[in-house]
Structure 1
Amino acid sequence: MSYTGDGAYTGIRYDGAGTADAPEVVYDEDEHMYGIEPTTTQTTTTTTSRTATTTTLTLTTTWTPPSLYCFALMMAKGYEVDLIRMQLRKGVSLFQCDYWEVFSSEEVQLSPGPPVELYSKSIGSMKCEVGGPFGCALNTDVFVKAWKRIFEDQNYLSYGWTVKVDP
């Protein structure tokens, strides 16, 4: 508060509203406070308290470690199809895992059945440039597509380990 010299005070008055961190401040320039000397001081004390909260998350799984989710990327045309089919018939490589998936540019029949026809899952085009100092496939984008599909399907969540297997 400040004394204006004509018997009036102007300034800030705290009226108790608002929160402890940000009290509501009321500006009242027209209020006249008679009978109070200019040396009067008003003090307001605010007490605050904080509470900490701890949250615990319990995750339940359906697998017994170690369990394996395995996947492979396969070219839809060429020798990799025959190689994957042979591995499936013999139950070797990724087909020994607790759960497996084969990804390719299109659905490819892996087993005619019986008991069940099995197909690869399509992730779209797997075309990529060849280059670099060693003339390698620059196929990072192909693997990113596969990982996106894996994350979308979420089958890997039921297993302890995720393994990328070459055909």
Structure 2
Amino acid sequence: VPPVEKKDARGSSLFCLMAVLPGSPEEQLSGLAKSKGASIYACDANMIANSLAAPMKQWGSGDTTLVNTESFLDVWRQVKTDGRYKNYDWTVKVDPDSVFMPDRLKYHLEHLLAPKNMPIYIKNTAKEFGFLGAIEVFSKEAMDVYFGKDTIDDNDQHCFKET
């Protein structure tokens, strides 16, 4: 997406969330960040979403990975139900063990000059078709597009098969 004139650029307000597995060390990390007013607690608004424990799966290759698709779908359902993301320019999902500085992200978003009213995902990896990372950034309109889906389509089914 090419940059636009500053007058036509979206703002940099942040709604930040962290998925935390109850009873895990993630709770301590989140609590420490909160006590310092750091990470998601330095955003314009924030929420903690309870994540679900995810099972491990051994693949035919012998590799073992965490199968956490359903856990993250549940986190996004919580964000949709909460609804506060609608009041901010960007939604940011941050892993509990990440070092995240909202002011630095705001600076970069302001200089990005992203157009208003457009669904945007900030790519955070050089991997083609990668949707990875400890920090994920979406425009409000991107969240609206995702949440506007009422059914699982063929693309979603492909993702489920891959995980």
- TM-score normalised by the chain length of structure 2: 0.48
Higher helix share: 2
* Structure of greater Rg: 1
TM-score of the aligned structures, taking structure 1 as reference length: 0.47
Ranked by relative contact order (alpha carbons within 8 Å, sequence separation 6 or more), the top structure is 2
Higher strand fraction (1 or 2): 1
